[in-house]
Amino acid sequence: MKQISMLIAASVFAVQANAMQWQALPGTAPAPADNPTTEAKVELGKMLFMDPRFSSTGTVSCNSCHNVMEGGDDSRSVSMGVHGKTGGRNAPTVWNSAFHSAQFWDGRAALLEDQAKGPVANPVEMGMEDVETAMDRVRKIPGYKAYFDRAFGENSMTVENAAKAVAAFERTLITPNSPYDRYVKGDKQAMTEQQVRGMNKFASSGCTSCHSGAAFNGPQQKLGEGFFTKFPTFADSDYVAKYTLADDKGRQEVTGNSADANLFRTPTLRNITDTAPYFHNGSVNDLAEAVRVMAKTQLNKELPDGDVADIVAFLTALTGEYPEISMPRLPATAGASIIAD
């Protein structure tokens, strides 16, 4: 009887562990208490997200680097901002960013509301003097007032509300119902045999130690509490020098703490087939190669080609359904340009 009880307990534990490990993507994203998602905020946020007039040159919008009409990134190794300037990091996809444990590669912003303000005043990205100067441009466009009033009430054209609107829009950028999601919900025909093999190898190889949870970006955290991974972990790999993986100190640049060197927020693997090139510096342009690099630098393993192919096949099953997005009609200025000023 004791042996049977132990077997039952082990079976229950395995089922519980599997349930914790394989989770479908929720249909809605969590929002902070002070910024519940509403249709009016989403409508305004989409307009602000698409409008390039709040960059110093009038050429760069949020969508320039996070193109929601595609994979939510810009397909470049590093993004290009105003005056052709380029930064040092790859633009992460904005799709499913609502499920990130923190924002930016180094986690310097806790919530989407905080993240929305950063690029505007970054000299390489949108190049405005500060966020209030950018907000002054919004105020100079008469048509925006009605949208702010509808979303937040009278006298609401503030930086904080603009950021809340953009964040509300971004929380609608969710891609559920991937073959993987359908599979873990019970449709065992949703994934191919190779994808199922890859799913099992993904777990048995140790990939889920970092890429767990519904978004494959780490364990569920409280909103704004970052989950970070050291990358590279095994710095003696030849891949580290080949792809300059250790040059960027990651979170250390935020905290100044040497213990945070090379720590990065664990990125989502959702829609990964649509977001090449890979890693924080966009140095790898092939998904199979990225799998090999991760296996060696993070797990100290050299995976056989068959295992790599199976894991890549599984990763293709993480591409979900993109909701249809229509481009907004932006309010115009009559008889004058806010950029020329």
- Whether pLDDT at 8 is above 70: no
Q: State pLDDT tens for residues 136-151.
A: 999 999 999 999 999 9
The reported pLDDT for the residue numbered 1 is 43
Residue 12 confidence (pLDDT): 35
> Which domains are assigned to the chain?
39-170 (1.10.760.10), 179-316 (1.10.760.10)
Contacts of 121 (CB under 8 A, 6+ apart): 128, 129, 130, 131, 134
Q: How confident is the model at residue 19 (pLDDT cuts 50, 70, 90)?
A: very low
Q: pLDDT tier at 225 (50, 70, 90 boundaries)?
A: confident
Percent of the chain with pLDDT over 70: 92
User: What is d(CA 206, CA 264) in angstroms, rounded to the nearest whole number?
Assistant: 18
Q: DSSP alpha helices (H): ranges in 23-106?
A: 39-50, 62-65
Catalytic residue numbers, as ranges = 125
Give yes or no for residue 186 having a pLDDT over 50: yes
pLDDT of residue 21: 80
Dihedrals phi, psi of 297, to nearest 5 degrees: -80, -25
| Residue pLDDT, tens place only, 290-330 | 999 999 999 999 999 999 999 999 999 999 999 999 999 99
The three-state secondary structure class of 279 is coil
SS3 80: strand
**What's the chain's average pLDDT?**
92
- pLDDT tens digits, residue range 85-122? 999 999 999 999 999 999 999 999 999 999 999 999 99
Helix (H, G, I), strand (E, B) or coil at 51: coil
Q: Identify the pLDDT of residue 221.
A: 66
